[in-house]
Every structure is written in structure tokens, then in C-alpha cells.
Structure 1
Amino acid sequence: MTRSRLAPLLSAAPLALVLALPPSSGAVAQPAPNRVLRVAPHADLKTLDPVFASIVITRMHGLMVYETLFAWDSKLQPHPQMVESFSTAPDNLAWTFRLREGLRFHDGQPVTSKDVIASLKRWMARDTVGGKLAEYTAALEAQDDRTFTLRLKKPTGMVPFALGSAVGQIPAIMRESDATTDPMKPVQNTIGSGPFLFNRAEWRSGARVVYDRNPDYKPRGEPADGLAGGRVVKLDRVEWTIMPDAATAAAALQAGEIDIWEQPSQDLIPVISRGRDIKVERYSSLDNQVMLRPNHLHPPFNDPRARLALAYATDQADFLAAGFGDEQWWKRCASYFVCGSPNGTDAGTEGYAKPNLETARKLLAESGYKGETMVITSSYDIAPIGRMAEVAAEALKKIGMKVDLQFADWGTVTTRQQNRAAPDQGGWNLFVTTASGPTMQSPITNIGTNMSCDRAWAGWPCDAEAEKLRNAVVEAVDDESRRAATEALHRRLAEVQPYRVLGQYTQPYARRANVSGVLNAPVMVFWNIEKK
């Protein structure tokens, strides 16, 4: 660590310049300090629509404001959330759901079947899980204001799991007027039915995001478990303070100016852990995954040989050490579906278990690469991603590629990821990113292994055989056939390389000792939390 980064930690200087914000024109008396949770999130909030963007910060925001029909517990099992009851037809081709009584949007309107149907259709047009469910869907029909039916073309057991998805673009239930807008454009309204209200008046891009407790929200009666059960809010307000500099966030936590640091930098964990009033813990039981994502639309990575060259050119340890420091926080893993998960397998990856630059150069030449400049887009707002992008640039240079590494703020990077234009016209060739273990552990939810062409996530991989094999996983009727189908899919993925798996890492969070109730969930959520 440099002296300039360490200085704020030693002084624990006040953060007046960071935290001082102009009051909103409609400012009211502030809640008592023990009723306000102050959080340093891992990134700034740029996109408010959790059905449009799959990035984690937008998903965290979405789970504050919106609800889903089902919700995953701490073991990633689905439970009814907005749904009161449901039934299936004897042939499993019709699923009928009834909404809980009293569900209301933040503007006071009741949540109806029409809102649900419009929301699900929009989600199916955007998300990996939603797109897969759409392939099996024959119709969505409203029976009355609180009852609707999902009719299937053929049976699948993924329905509750999909409707409770907490990864990718979540199936957030919006007002019909919002959900019927163009799914290729983000909704600008933030009217959900969830336990928090988005305080737009106090939102300061790049500085602060504020959520107030929804006084009209009625939680379920079950105990909270992951995202499932009763979403009981025990605070009046949650404030996200944007602190892209890790040393600044660490100093704020030590000084008690923030209560939670959502993703502390691993190299600073030994420093903050010395404090008696600070606890460093995990909030997800699965490791996260690192990936190098190529753009499949443009040369050379429209050719699988060039993508395979990335696997032979890269050493996972180089990336993970640069991103996460001490090896206690990371490990090599070639599985697209996360080592240590029920679906973890490295089938088909044996050939590139160790780097081979000669093979990488040969594959790159066979792909037709002619010296074009490769645009890598990245950000230091999330420091490990920025550092790993530098490693990627050096690895590509070693196999003869010309590289242009471009840095911007994270919001700009994620917006650019949606740009399908050629790299020299505002598009891109590669980026490094991370994804949660709960997202990547299943062939159904793994956003990177969706190879359905235009319906795929940024990078737009396209492979009919991989999609056929993924369907076999979805349709498997027992654990043995599901495992066999998953291994067959993984072997195909190892050949066509939708992205280069760069290993996995543990991401803890840090909290003040007077904060309790953080739930084991796919992303950090802020109900159930108390501050004494």
C-alpha cells in the first residue's frame, strides 16, 4: 500500500467534504442516528431499473424498492413472496397464482394481475432466466385482479425458482404503465411495492443514495431467511455514501461515519480488522466468480479459436493476486458453475489448466486476427476490476495483440457494455468483471453461459448446441440426469468459451459492532438490520 493511501487510515480524518451534501428543498427533520444506517456500497448507482440492468448495485437498489413473486432463501430455494398461494394442473402445464391481499405500490395503487403479467413479459425480454422461462411459456392470463395463470408449452420445474430469481435482471413487479414501456430502454420511475421508498429528492449521483422506510408495507409473517420471509424494516432510513477510494471508506468505518462497508478492499481488511468495534464477515455462502468477457459480435472473438486463445494465454493466479491480494481470499477454479456449488465441474477444461502462449498464438492466427486494436473497457471505481484489466492487457500483448485499455467510471463502463457497435465506434472487445456465486452456480441463472445470441447478456454469444444442452438441464427430471446434462453442457462451453473463467474469490463485508441482522443472501439487503 502506498503512503498516500495509508494516510487517511492513520488519521481517520473527518469526511466532511465527502459527506456534506446540500439539503433538498423539501428537507424534513432527520431520524435519530440509531435509526439511520449509513453504507458505503461497492459502486455508484447509475441505472434505476433492475429489469434493464444486471449489475449488482442496480439489483441491490431493486430489492429495496420492488418485490418479486417468489424469493430465494439462504440456500437458494424459492418461497412465495408476493404470492399468497399457487397450484399446478395435473399435467404441469398450467400454474395458477394468487397474490397476497393488501399489496400496494408506493403511489397507493393496488398491485394487480395486469401489473404482474406486464412485468413478467418485460423481464422475459431482458433476462437470462426470464428468457429461458419464456421459451416454455404459451400464455400469461389474468383470472381476476389477484389471480393469474402461467400456461406452458411443455413441463419444467423451474417456475418458482425463476419467478424468485435474485440474479441477473430480477423479475421485479412494476406498475403496468411502467412495465409496458420499451424493454430496451430503462424505466425512469422508481415506484415499486417493496419495503423501502427511493428518496429521489436526496439522490446525488456520485455522492449519495437515500431510501426511507415504507410505512405502508406489510411484511410476510415468516422469519427472514435470505431474501425470503418477512422483510421487516427496523430502520427509518438507509443512506448509501459513494466512496470509490478504499482508504477513504476504511477511515470512515473506523471513525463510525459509516456503519457498513459492503465490499472492503482485501488489502485493507487486516487494518480494519484490528478495530474492536469492527467485524468482517461473509454474507453469501458461495464464492464469487471472475470473468474475462469477449464481444462475440466483432473480430476476432466472433471466432471460437480466438476466444479459446484467451484461455491458453491467461493464468488465473495473475488476475486473482492482482485483484484480491493474499491467496486466502481466492482460488483457481475452471468451472463455469462455481467450484463448491452443487453444479461445480471442470469437465472439458483440462487442456488449458496451465497457460500455453504458443498454443494461444497459434489459435489466434487461425482465427484470422490481423493486428486490429483490441479495446478493453474498465474502471477503477471497483479497484480489483481495474487492476485485473491491466493484467488482461498485458496477457493479450504477450500473444501479439494490440491493446487499447480505456478507463471510465463504472456507470459509464456498464452503459458501454450494452453498445453493440464496432469497437472503434463506441463499442468494445473485452472487459473484466465479477459475478456472484449464486448467479453463476446454475446453468439456468448463469448470465455468461446463456448463448442465445441476441437474447444473451453483453457480449452476445451465440451457439445452438450449447443452448440445446442447457435446455436438457432445465428439463431434467432427477438429480442424476441433471448432473449428466450439466457435465455435457460444461464440455461444450469449454470448447466455445462464452467467456474466460478467471477463478473465484471470497468477498466479505465489514460492519460496526453495533449493527446486527445482516442476512445471508445473494446480495446485501437492508431489512432485518438493527443498529444499537
Structure 2
Amino acid sequence: MIKRRTLLGAAAASPLLSLPAFGQSAGSSVLKYVPASNLTILDPVFTPAAVSVTHGYCVFDTLYGVDADQNPQPQMAEGHSVSDDGLEWRITLRDGLKFHDGEPVRAQDCAASLARWAKLDPFGQALGAATESFGHADDKTIVIKLTRPFGPVLDAIGKPHSRPAFMMPERLATTDPQTQITEMVGSGPFRFVADEYVSGDRVVYEKFADYIPREGEAEWTSGGKQVNFDRLEWQIIPDDATAIAAIQAGEVDWLGAVLTDLQPVIEASPDVNLHRTDPYGIMHVVRFNHLIPPFDNVELRRAVLKAVDQVPFLQSVAANPDDREECLALFPCGTPGVEQVGEGIMGSLDVEAAKQAVMDAGYNNEPVVILNPTDISSIHPHGLLIADLLEKIGFNVDLVDTDWGTVVQRRVSKETVENGGWNLAATNWPAISINNPATNATTRGLGESGWWGWYEDAEMEQLVVDWLAAEDPDTAAKLYLDIQNRAIDQVPTLPLGLSYRSGAVRADLQGALQGSVDMFWNIRRG
């Protein structure tokens, strides 16, 4: 059977070709883009925020990328070798790689970048736990020495989303992992123009003249990253209707996201096409803060899980039924090995029963601070809905409406709510970025070294270690199911289902690629 997402993926990959946009000549060397949210954190390893990852792919490059089947492919790397015992991986760099400051890319830079990334990213932490050292044999040879075999080394360092392993100069990569890097010097296809960056207004990049693309066609984050514009300008337009008007008028070329209610406007426009970037969809979640009351209490998390009906949450961000999918699990439904283990659990309590469950769990009327971004249409309704639900089942709710940049900054606070902390925050993840036990930050039990919310669970972490070490498919499948059941029982995060989001591009552009974020190579004016 052909799945809907397969057909949608084929549509998204089709050429986008028509007349030049109003106000820009066919030979225009500027590409104008409106991201789905403001860019406030420049360090794409420090945060998994999609807008920072999108920015990261402009400035930085990775040793390995992935193709459309999510198989790792060499990118900055020429290739690799593995010792007979599986404990030493050697990765050789391609010739001629340079950073934007003119310095050559060395293995020392890459080793330091891997070491910092492995302290922050969940998959990287799993690799780091099996690693003796990230080092180098010479300027072109990275050496990863393991303490035990770790088969998915390339899958880890080539992951396409949510803290990809971006390579930086050693002087930046040795920055404390808990400190944001603000100097943007990478070896990617675009150079960040620091003196034109104004958060909340604009972000500017220039084509990096010394970038050497790989041979072959670009596919997801791998292949030849051919840049066809001299300049890339991001314009921050928080209002969806204003952004739609701008692309219709030819004032911008590309919208990172289109509110579902406004998609018919795009469909009726002869000069603009909808573009579905990611055929795997987006998983919506609400994250609990596990460090402070009340959701350090698993019984209260379970009570909320049992009271949630995903349907209104999905309807609020995807008006078309074809653009949404219930998923009663903490792993993306439709990806290999995932079962809806939440069936019979999620939505099993009505309001009165949920009220009683909250009382029985010992809730003490602590204020529940919900961080809610007003400027992201795919998240804002979920803050409103979860606040309404919690009030109905007896929680003392404080809904904090603010911009996304403030949410991103505040949600890393580990303070009490009286001192600027928080209890709940909605967000979403590209499904492909959380599709296995090692990469799924929403379920990892890494505590204060893990994803914000800081869920700690030694049993979950042991299951992940066992899954990574499994040598046969049946054992791995059983462990994966155990992990899914553990997640729905402990409720580190509240799952809200899947949606399939579209952006929009001017019809005179062709070559827009699929990926977990928008990518600005390969695209050109027709």
C-alpha cells in the first residue's frame, strides 16, 4: 500500500517552476526567506530548536550527512575505516576544506567539535559513554577510540536534526558545553554576516566563496551543496497574514511555515506553491519540568496523560484531516518498530475522574507555569489547550504568553517558578529526529545533562544502552518495545500526535529539497 506521506513526499520533491517573482529579476542573487520563528540562539549544538538547526546548516557542515533513506553519507569526510575489534574509527577529511576565517579545517577541530557535541546531544551522549577519546592522528585524520563496540557511530555523527554534529574551529569547540557559542565561524556553504544580524528583524548570510561542494546531487543533508545565490536574507515576520501577503507580492521568496488556515490562500495564488519539506511529519509534545513540583510526581504526570485527547490539539494546528495523525506513543507512529502503546491509557479519564486522580496523587495547589509562545502558530494553540485542560482537572495554572525567543531562553532555567522557572512548555520535533531510543530526547532519562525538563531515569538509560548493544534484530525489537512501554508509564513528556506542515515558495524557484529543516543549497530561479 502506498502511504499518504510517500505521495506527499513525491509532490514536495517536484520542480517548482513558473514566472519570476514580482520585484525580483530572474537573475536576482538574493534569496529572501521568512523562518517559522525568530532566531535567538546562534549555537546549533547548544539547542535543538529547529530555527537554530536551520541556521546551523547555513554556517556549518558535518562529517557525514544523510540521504533520503536516512543512510549516512560522507560530507566533509572522504571516508572512514574501522579496526577489526570495532574499537577504533578513523575518519579522513576531504582536501581543501576551509573555515570562514580562512583557516584550514583540521582533524583537531573536528575532534574537539565531536567532544563538545557528545556532551549535549542524546545520541552523542550515548556515543560518548562508549568512547575513550575523540582525537586525531594528523591534520586530516580523526580518531575515535571506543571502550566497547558502537555500531551506529556514523548514524550518530550524521544525524540530520536536533543538535547535528556540526564542525567548528577548535578554539570555539573547546567552549564549555553549557555556554552558548556566539561567534559564528564554520565551514558551511554560507558565511554569517554578524554586523547585519538583528534578532527579531533579520539574519543575513553570504555565499562562502571557498566552499567546495561534494560531487553528486544534493539529497537531504548529503551530496553536492551548490549555492546559487550570493546572499541569503532571513526576514522575521511574526504575523502569518503579513508573511502571506509578502510572498504573494514577491517581497520574499520562501516561507518556512504556513498556518493551515491560510494554506487555501497559497493554493489559490498562481505565483506561490505550497512546499512540504519533511514527509515524515512533526511530533507535537508538551514537556514537563521534572526538577520541581508538581510534575516531579509521576502520578500527576500519569493523571494528565490519561486526561488528554489528542484530537483538539491536532485540529488546532492542522485543519485538514490529511495533515494530522493521532499517535498514542512517545515515538513517531509510522516509523519502524513503533506501536501505539498508549491505547487504552491516553484519554481514558473524563474531567471528574481526572480531578480525582489529581487529588489522589497529592497535588498541593502549587502554581503551574506554562510557557506559551504567541508567535509560533504550530505551538501557541497547544499552550492554550493544555492550560484549559489543567484548569478543568484542578491545577492552579499560570499561562505565560510571550515570544518564542523568550520561551527558548526561559525553558533552560532550573529555578523554581518564583525565581523565573517553569513547569510545562509545548514544542514539536521533526519525527525523523526522535525515531529511535538513542535520538529521542523526549524519552531519554539523562537528568540534568539531558533535554530541558531534565527527566532522570536510570532504568530507561540502561534499556537504551542494551538496545544499542543488541546484536540481533529480535532482541533489539523487544528492547525497543520495552522502552516505549517504559516511556508511556513514566510520562517524561506528553505526546500530542503528528502533523504534516507545509511552507511556501515563489513559483519561479526550483530545486527546493526535502529535509527536516529548510536548506538553501540546490534551489535556484527558473
TM-score category of the 2 structures, normalised to the smaller one = over 0.9
Equivalent position of 1:510 in the other structure: 504
Does the aligned pair in 2 maintain the 1:105–1:191 contact within 8 Å?
yes
Shift, 1:476, TM fit: 2.2
What amino acid is aligned across from residue 253 of structure 1 in structure 2?
I
Q: Secondary structure at the match of 2:378?
A: helix
Matches within 5 A, 1:437-452: 437-452=431-446
Cα displacement (A) at 1:46: 0.8
| Cα root mean square deviation, aligned | 1.7
Which residue in the other structure is 2:107 paired with?
Answer: 113
1:272 matches 2:266 = yes
Q: What is the alpha-carbon distance in structure 2 between the residues aligned to residue 73 and residue 208 of structure 1?
A: 31
Aligned residue among 177, 180, 189 for 2:174: 180
The one of 419, 428, 431 aligned to 2:422: 428
C-alpha distance in structure 2 between counterparts of 1:64 and 1:108, whole Å: 17
Displacement after TM superposition at 1:32 (Å): 8.1
Q: Distance in 2 between matches of 1:460 and 1:390?
A: 23
Write out per-residue CA displacement over residues 356-414 of structure 1, whole angstroms, 9 at most, x where no aligned residue.
33443343234321111100011111023112101110000111001000011111100
Change (3 A) 1:520 1:384: closer
**Structure 1 residues 35, 343: closer, same or farther in 2, change over 3 A?**
farther
2:409 to 396, 415, 419: 415
Query: Shift of the alpha carbon at 1:142?
Result: 1.3
Alpha carbons 1:312, 1:359 under 8 Å: kept: no
Q: 1:469-525: CA deviations, max 9, x gaps?
A: 122222222333322211111011111001110111001111111111111112111
Unaligned segments of structure 2, at least 5 residues: 1-22
- Equivalent residue letter for 1:261: L
Larger CA deviation: 321-330 vs 76-85: 321-330
Query: Within the alignment, does 1:307 sit opposite 2:307 as a pair?
Result: no
* Alignment partner, residue 23 of structure 1: none
Residue of structure 2 in register with 1:345 after alignment: 339
Determine the C-alpha separation between the residues in 1 that align with 2:235 and 2:308: 36
Change beyond 3 A, Cα 1:254–1:50: same
| Superposed displacement of residue 232, structure 1 | 0.9
**Unpaired stretches in structure 1, ≥5 consecutive residues:** 1-18, 20-29
AA partner of residue 476 (structure 2): R
Taking a change above 3 Å as real, the CA distance of residues 95 and 400 of structure 1, as seen in their structure-2 partners, is same
Partner of 1:523: 517
Name the structure 1 match of 2:380. 386
Alpha-carbon offset, residue 355 of structure 1: 4.2
Distance in 1 between residues matched to 2:473 and 2:227, nearest whole Å: 38
Find the aligned partners of 1:476 and 1:358 in 2 and give their Cα distance. Answer: 44
2:81 aligned with 1:87, yes or no? yes
Residue 5 (structure 1) aligns with: none
1:63 aligns with 57
Alignment match of 1:482 (pick from 476, 479, 482): 476
Q: Which residue of 2 aligns with 1:141?
A: 135
Kindly report which structure 2 residues correspond to 1:278-317, keeping only aligned pairs within 5 A, or say none: 278-317=272-311
CA distance in 1, matches of 2:25, 2:128: 44
Contact 1:300 1:368 in 2 (8 A): no
Pick the aligned partner of 1:405 from 399, 407, 421.
399
Give the alignment's TM-score, normalised by structure 1. Answer: 0.92
Equivalent position amino acid for 1:249 in 2 = A
Taking the aligned partners of 2:347 and 2:83, their CA distance within structure 1 comes to: 47
**SS class of match (1:384):** coil
8 A Cα contact 1:98 1:146, kept in partner: yes
State whether residues 112 and 134 of structure 2, in contact with CA within 8 Å, keep that contact through their aligned partners in structure 1: no
Between the aligned partners of 1:440 and 1:360, the Cα distance in structure 2 is: 29
1:155 aligned to which of 149, 158, 162 = 149
Matches of 2:91 and 2:138, distance apart in 1: 11
Partners of 2:206 and 2:328 lie apart in 1 by: 42
Is the contact made by 1:198 and 1:211 (CA closer than 8 Å) also made in structure 2? yes
Preserved contact between residue 332 and residue 431 of structure 2 (Cα < 8 Å) = yes
Q: Does 1:396 align with 2:390?
A: yes
Task: Please give the alpha-carbon distance, in whole angstroms, between the structure 1 residues aligned to 2:328 and 2:241.
Answer: 32
- Which AA in structure 2 matches 1:88? V
1:224 maps to what in 2? 218
Which residue of structure 1 lines up, in the alignment, with residue 454 of structure 2? 460
Q: Distance in 1 between matches of 2:330 and 2:442?
A: 9
Shift of 1:438: 1.0
Question: What is the identity, as a one-letter code, of the residue corresponding to 1:397?
Answer: E
Q: CA 1:489/1:408 → structure 2, altered by over 3 Å: closer, same or farther?
A: same
2:229 matched to 1:235? yes
1:227-250 deviation digits (Å, cap 9, x = unpaired) = 011111111111111111000011
Three-state SS of the structure 2 residue aligned to 1:174 is coil
**In the aligned structure 1, how far is the partner of 2:165 from the partner of 2:49?**
14
Contact 1:284 1:522 (8 Å CA) reproduced: yes
* Moved segments of 4+, more than 6 Å: none
Question: Structure 1 CA distance, aligned partners of 2:243 and 2:170?
Answer: 40
Q: 2:163 aligns with which of 134, 158, 169?
A: 169
SS of the residue corresponding to residue 351 of structure 1 reads coil
SS of 2:135 mapped into structure 1: strand
Q: What CA distance in whole angstroms lies between the structure 2 residues aligned with 1:274 and 1:31?
A: 23
> What is residue 7 of structure 2 aligned with on the other side?
none
2:92 is aligned to 98
Q: Which residue of 1 aligns with 2:13?
A: none
Change (3 A) 1:417 1:343: farther
The 2-side partners of 1:335 and 1:402 are apart by: 27
CA distance in 2 between counterparts of 1:489 and 1:52 reads: 26
CA–CA separation in structure 2 for the residues paired with 1:33 and 1:229: 25
Alignment of 1:486-497 (within 5 A): 486-497=480-491
Distance 2:54 2:404 in 1: 16
- Cα shift readout 1:235-269 (whole Å, capped 9, x = no counterpart): 11111111110000111111111111111111000
Instruction: Report the Cα distance in structure 2 between the residues aligned to 1:335 and 1:366, rounded to whole angstroms.
Output: 25
Query: Amino acid of the residue matched to residue 122 of structure 1?
Result: R
SS at match of 1:383: coil
Q: Which residue of 2 is the match for residue 7 of structure 1? A: none
CA contact (8 A) 1:66 1:173 kept: yes
Aligned match of 1:4: none
Which of 241, 244, 264 does residue 247 from structure 1 map onto?
241
Aligned to 1:24: none
Task: Tell me the SS of whatever aligns to 1:444.
Answer: coil
Selected match of 2:122 from 128, 153, 156: 128
Read off the aligned partner of 2:288 and give its amino acid letter.
Answer: P
